[in-house]
Chain A
Amino acid sequence: MRGGAGPTVAFIAGDPPPEAAATEEEVEENSGAEEEEQEDDELELGLCLGSKKQQQQSPSPAPCRILTARDLQPGALSPDSSVSSSSPAAGAAAASKRAKADAAPNATTSPGTVASGHPQSSFGVVGWPPIRTFRMNSLFNQVKDNAPETGAKKATDESDMQKDKEESEKKGRVVGWVKVNMDGDIIGRKVDLNAHRSYKTLASALELMFMKPSIGLCTSSSAKSLNLLDSSSEYQLTYEDRDGDWMLVGDVPWE
């Protein structure tokens, strides 16, 4: 049994009774801090957590400012603008993962209004929505396989086109699973070559996997297409063949 709330070994230290007392003190310390804050409004203003001095110590633009009365502008935001970012950093925000609370001078904490200052389009960030990488790999490749692909794997696969991409594992040739890595992306994806009939579908599938933000998301600006097969574009699709040489995808006919 995995144990309901299995404590780590660290729970059980040398001297049990003193340990318990120590934890107890620490807990009290916390609640002590809480008592310093009185009512609601003052909380927001006064949350220096007893350290106005600390605030002066770090004069840098700490992204998370303590909100002051100046910020509590009445009716600052209309509900509709709640989701959109009013920060000038919004443009670059998709690439940056940094929360930009400071960039929104009209952020409020009064109940009923909404916070802002976050980038609007968020699918450029890693790991969102929170779906396990394992599931993502299965899911994406599955979707591609739904293309009419009848049972028997054709013999075409065993041709000398060993499309082993970076870090080629000796995957079952018949299955045709291949790992693809994009420069600068730490997460590799897997793609099933059997699910594709041409370089075009392969390229668009890879594009789908690696460039999620470009899937018609909110912005009107058109395709930031990778044009993987176009030698003039930013990214090139290459593979490692049996001899270990790196070849440009597209030179040899698909079969």
Chain B
Amino acid sequence: MGRGGSHAAPAAASPPWHALPDEVWEHAFSFLPADSDRGAAAAACRSWLRAERRSRRRLVIANCYAASPQDAVDRFPSVRAVEVKGKPHFADFGLVPPGWGAAAAPWVAAAADGWPLLEELSFKRMYVTDDCLEMIAASFRNFQVLRLVSCEGFSTSGLAAIAAGCRNVRELDLQENEIEDCSIHWLSLFPESFTSLVTLNFSCLEGDVDITVLERLVTRCRNLKTLKLNNAIPLDKLASLLRKAPQIVELGTGRFSADYHLDLFSKLAAAFAGCKSLRRLSGAWDAVPEYLPAFYCVCEGLTSLNLSYATVRGPELVKFISRCKNLQLLWVMDLIEDHGLAAVASSCNKLQELRVFPSAPFDAAEQVSLTERGLVDVSASCPMLESVLYFCRRMTNEALITIAKNRPNFTCFRLCIIEPHTPDYITHQPLDAGFSAIVESCKGLRRLSVSGLLTDRVFRSIGAHADRLEMLSIAFAGNSDLGLHYILSGCKSLKKLEIRDCPFGDKPLLANAAKLETMRSLWMSSCSLTLGACRQLARKMPRLSVEVMNDPRRACPLDSLTDESHVETLYVYRTIAGPRSDTPACVQIV
């Protein structure tokens, strides 16, 4: 920074660095790719703050309640791309009732007013209505990218508004949303002159789609790179769509089942053979093993394969995946079993991310032979593996220690042993040693989910060693307040902590209240908290919002509850916007 311009100054002096005009700094900041770097620059001094915030183009609001929409618009007037995230992560598993909040409407309204040049809008876990979509279509003349992830509250009518109103839309990316089907042929509302689509993902839509209209759309959008179909598109139509879009890079196939017919198979294989640029493949619901070889010609080029909805098992599956030598990302069901993962380990050495999902999560007995073995094999043979999500039924400390030793480069390690409190199945010990090995070895670990039988010991290790850890998920673990205390007093980089069904109580929460302001949010449900502690926390930390929810079906009569009463769910987050005004009756802000 300080260049000491007052020393050896050449004759034709440029102004001292601190007097450079804003435009120079804005240009300099444009080279900072990460928001956090820009944030750090903005914190240096007032002039940098001014220059940075006025030139900021991309904004991520990781918690929609951390700041008001108006705050965001006022502070960053030149934003072109915004991402807003709403509900806490555990909403994905049904722990947050409908009507909880996270409405997109205030954000759309503020954006329409303050960012008329907005080009990209992304909402995750938010309540988005058709009105929102209509407003988006009407307010931003250069709107290009709409991404909705795990949202709900809208229907195909809203999509119709986007199709009809957004002349320049490039990306319409709908991931895992709950979309009501109003049987409006929204696809046909893209005008005939419209050709700018690059990404079209409607895989989460449940209703039918007019295939002819889709085919025409695909034909005229020559720049289409990503096409993800929904379950309603039958296999034979897939072949004809592919022929019209051979330039496709990412494909979501839709339903991949049909009775085996040789001519359909040949058509498919030929269609795929024409897709020389195909790199990412997903969908394949109900994939029928006999049709998998139709993919063979693209295997070599695939870098990403998501078969996590394909309930296919057996040798065909393994053969197929083994051909994908350049795979970097693999999502699959546990139907692949240990032997399948062993094959993956030996064939797919470039693997960076692996996710294995359970096919029968509620069955008590093991239906498939997927154990710790599979994960050990993959982590031993794939040197670039850094991200894992693994559902299994048994684990050992030894396996975890081996995995930790083989793969110190993990950045994301999420292990879910399906039955809570499951110990090491050989030694019957808690899995403390195993997870401790993971955090001690993987110095770059940013995300961790623990499971199985765990005592406070593991939390001591995590608190002490997981310096880069940003997100931690804990369930059915620990045995006293100590566990939570270790986490909150350690874990220097912790941003999100979510806990359920653990014996953690008031004391560590209150003792580490200040830590909570350095974090984005804390979720604790079915723990041992009392209302008194929440009240104390709220009093002590005015910049935190302390939300309490007991029974999601009932109003929460906060005033009549004593300090000793049990709190079922606590959600705490830092905010500069003060308490939100849209809580449902079952949520109270303390």
Partners in one complex: yes
* A9, B456: Cβ atoms closer than 8 Å: no
| B215, CB-defined interface residue at 8 Å | no
Task: State A133–B515 Cα separation when bound (angstroms).
Answer: 31
* B34, A4: Cβ atoms closer than 8 Å: yes
Chain B residues, Cβ within 8 Å of A234:
none
**Selected A-B contacts with CB under 8 Å, 8 pairs:** A7-B35, A16-B44, A60-B564, A99-B527, A114-B453, A129-B358, A130-B93, A186-B553
* A64, B505: Cβ atoms closer than 8 Å: yes
Interface residue from A47, A107, A169 paired with B507 (Cβ < 8 Å) = A47
What does the 1/0 interface line of B41-81 toward A look like (CB < 8 Å)? 01111100100010000111111001100011001100000
Chain A residues, Cβ within 8 Å of B502:
99
- With both chains docked as a complex, state the minimum distance between the C-beta of B390 and any C-beta of chain A, in angstroms: 12
| B154, CB-defined interface residue at 8 Å | no
* B552, A10: Cβ atoms closer than 8 Å: no
**Which one of A28-36, A221-229, A235-243 contacts B?**
A28-36
What does the 1/0 interface line of A85-110 toward B look like (CB < 8 Å)? 00000000000011111000001010
* A172, B511: Cβ atoms closer than 8 Å: no
Grouping DSSP codes into helix (H, G, I), strand (E, B) and loop, the A interface class, with mixed when no group exceeds half, is loop
Question: Assuming A9-B71, A122-B420, A130-B93, is B480 touching A3 (CB within 8 A)?
Answer: no
Nearest chain-B residue to A33 (Cβ)?
A: B511
Question: Assuming A129-B416, A133-B92, A212-B362, is B525 touching A111 (CB within 8 A)?
Answer: no
Other contacts beyond A8-B67, A122-B501: 15, CB < 8 A = A8-B61, A9-B75, A10-B66, A23-B517, A27-B518, A44-B480, A48-B507, A58-B532, A63-B503, A64-B480, A64-B528, A98-B566, A118-B476, A131-B361, A216-B364
* A10, B576: Cβ atoms closer than 8 Å: yes
Chain B residues, Cβ within 8 Å of A161:
none
Interface residue from A64, A79, A132 paired with B92 (Cβ < 8 Å) = A132
* A101, B503: Cβ atoms closer than 8 Å: yes
| B568, CB-defined interface residue at 8 Å | yes
Partner-B contacts on A (CB < 8 A): 1-13, 16-17, 19-20, 23, 26-27, 29-31, 33-34, 43-44, 47-51, 54, 58, 60, 62-64, 66-67, 79-80, 82-83, 97-101, 107, 109, 111-112, 114-115, 117-118, 122-123, 125-135, 138-139, 142-143, 145-146, 150-151, 169-172, 174-175, 177, 184, 186-187, 190, 208, 212, 215-218
Task: State A187–B92 Cα separation when bound (angstroms).
Answer: 11
* B479, A115: Cβ atoms closer than 8 Å: yes
Interface residue from A67, A150, A171 paired with B259 (Cβ < 8 Å) = A150
Task: State A108–B39 Cα separation when bound (angstroms).
Answer: 46
Nearest chain-B residue to A145 (Cβ)?
A: B286
Chain B residues, Cβ within 8 Å of A139:
309, 359
Chain A residues, Cβ within 8 Å of B564:
58, 60
Chain B residues, Cβ within 8 Å of A63:
503, 505, 528, 566
Chain A residues, Cβ within 8 Å of B357:
131, 135
Interface residue from B42, B178, B422, B504 paired with A83 (Cβ < 8 Å) = B422
| B94, CB-defined interface residue at 8 Å | yes
Task: State A88–B242 Cα separation when bound (angstroms).
Answer: 62
* B309, A138: Cβ atoms closer than 8 Å: yes
Chain A residues, Cβ within 8 Å of B432:
111
Chain B residues, Cβ within 8 Å of A26:
514-515, 517-518
**Which one of B2-10, B202-210, B341-349 contacts A?**
B202-210
| B303, CB-defined interface residue at 8 Å | no
Nearest chain-B residue to A167 (Cβ)?
A: B180
Interface residue from A33, A123, A146, A170 paired with B286 (Cβ < 8 Å) = A146
Nearest chain-B residue to A188 (Cβ)?
A: B98
Chain A residues, Cβ within 8 Å of B53:
12
Chain A residues, Cβ within 8 Å of B489:
30-31, 33-34
Contact size range, B: 35 or more
Question: Assuming A2-B83, A8-B62, is B505 touching A62 (CB within 8 A)?
Answer: yes
- With both chains docked as a complex, state the minimum distance between the C-beta of B325 and any C-beta of chain A, in angstroms: 28
Interface residue from B150, B208, B505, B563 paired with A174 (Cβ < 8 Å) = B208
- With both chains docked as a complex, state the minimum distance between the C-beta of B563 and any C-beta of chain A, in angstroms: 7
Interface residue from B359, B423, B504 paired with A64 (Cβ < 8 Å) = B504
Question: Assuming A64-B504, A175-B232, A187-B94, is B480 touching A109 (CB within 8 A)?
Answer: yes
Chain A residues, Cβ within 8 Å of B131:
none
- With both chains docked as a complex, state the minimum distance between the C-beta of B294 and any C-beta of chain A, in angstroms: 17
Task: State A10–B495 Cα separation when bound (angstroms).
Answer: 13
* B362, A60: Cβ atoms closer than 8 Å: no
| B582, CB-defined interface residue at 8 Å | no
Question: Assuming A128-B475, A175-B206, is B35 touching A5 (CB within 8 A)?
Answer: yes
Task: State A66–B485 Cα separation when bound (angstroms).
Answer: 13
* B93, A146: Cβ atoms closer than 8 Å: no
Nearest chain-A residue to B309 (Cβ)?
A: A138
Interface residue from B206, B311, B457, B553 paired with A172 (Cβ < 8 Å) = B206
Task: State A146–B150 Cα separation when bound (angstroms).
Answer: 26
* A6, B481: Cβ atoms closer than 8 Å: no
* A3, B362: Cβ atoms closer than 8 Å: no
Interface residue from B63, B480, B515 paired with A30 (Cβ < 8 Å) = B515
Task: State A51–B485 Cα separation when bound (angstroms).
Answer: 14
